[in-house]
Structure 1
């Protein structure tokens, strides 16, 4: 008996298990399709994160230059924080997407 990764949740389970105790996935059938589905779900999740960070980045730029002049006071701090978090989050998420795509299914 060895420990293997569940094709759905990637947690360690027994190789003789009929069902994953974490996500309750049935392991008696074809587990290849479960692995592909899990890979696609993860790709979709990463793309959603990328979109959220890009939206945050654009919102920061719009708030900063709203009305034709750079923002001042609290508005400028909000705009800069949104800009920085959105930009850095977007870059990190894009790297995670590339690394995820390099992983074989």
Structure 2
């Protein structure tokens, strides 16, 4: 008995099991080509998720930047701290999403 990855969700399952206990995929009678196709679809979904997160992070960063520099805010006001937090959070989230995207593309 060996441990394999589920073609759809990627979680570890037994090679003797007929269904994945995580995503309920029926593995009985599935061809190798179908398993490969499901694995590619799962990888593409992860890449798309990383791209979407990257875009949302960029929007958060730009919104914080616009809020800080295009409105007359008090230097020590609450709004200034919120916009600086949006800038920092958006930047860090963007870097994380892009690093994840690079990792996922190299894994392909």
TM-score normalised per structure 2: 0.89
Aligned partner of 1:36 in structure 2 is: 40
- Alpha-carbon distance between aligned partners in 2 of 1:27 and 1:54, rounded to the nearest angstrom: 40
Per-residue CA deviation, residues 48-83 of structure 1 (Å, 9 max, x unaligned), is 11111111000110110123x4x3201100100000
In structure 2, the partner of 1:7 is 7
Q: Does 1:76 align with 2:84?
A: no
How many residues of Structure 1 are paired with residues of Structure 2 in the alignment?
102
Of the candidates 49, 53, 59, which is equivalent to residue 49 of structure 1? 53
Flag structure 2 segments of 5+ consecutive residues without an equivalent.
none
Question: Greater CA deviation, 79-88 or 16-25?
Answer: 16-25
Q: Which structure 1 residue ranges, 4+ long, deviate > 2 Å from structure 2? A: none
Please provide the CA RMSD for this pair.
1.1
- Secondary structure of the residue aligned to 1:13 is strand
TM-score, normalised to structure 1, is 0.91
Query: How many Å separate the matches in 1 of 2:60 and 2:92?
Result: 11
CA distance in 2: counterparts of 1:19 and 1:31, whole angstroms: 13
Unpaired segments of 5 or more residues in structure 1?
A: none
